[in-house]
Amino acid sequence: MPIYAYKCGSCGHAKDVLQKISDAPLLDCPACGRANFHKQLTAAGFQLKGSGWYATDFRGGATATAASGGAESATATETAPTTAEATASTGGCGTSCACH
C-alpha cells in the first residue's frame, strides 16, 4: 500500500497516510476539521533489487566485475587482442565496418 502525503490548505497541518490506491482521498483536516485537506505531489521511493540492476551490477566499474568473475575475468582480459592487433587482422578498417 502506498503512503500519501496530505497537507491542509487552511492551517498547514501535514500528515502521511497509508492508504489503498482504491481508497477515497481524505478531505477533512484532522487538526482544524476544515475540508481543505489535499494530497501533495511527492517523489516515489523505490529500490530495484535482483541481478541486472545498476546498484548491484555496474557500481564500481571493473571492481564489481573482478569480484564476481574472479580468475575468469583476468583470463578474458589477458587474451583479448589489442587495438593494433585488431586493426591489423581486419585490414585497417576496424571491427565497426560492415565488412566484418
pLDDT by residue for the chain (100 residues), tens digit each? Answer: 888 999 999 999 999 999 998 999 999 999 999 999 999 988 877 777 766 656 555 555 555 445 555 445 444 445 555 555 555 555 556 566 666 5
Kindly report the backbone phi and psi dihedral angles of residue 42, in degrees, each rounded to the nearest multiple of 5, phi listed first: -130, 165
The three grid cell numbers given for residue 76, joined into one nine-digit string:
578474458
pTM > 0.85: no
Task: Tell me which H or E stretch contains 88.
Answer: helix 83-89
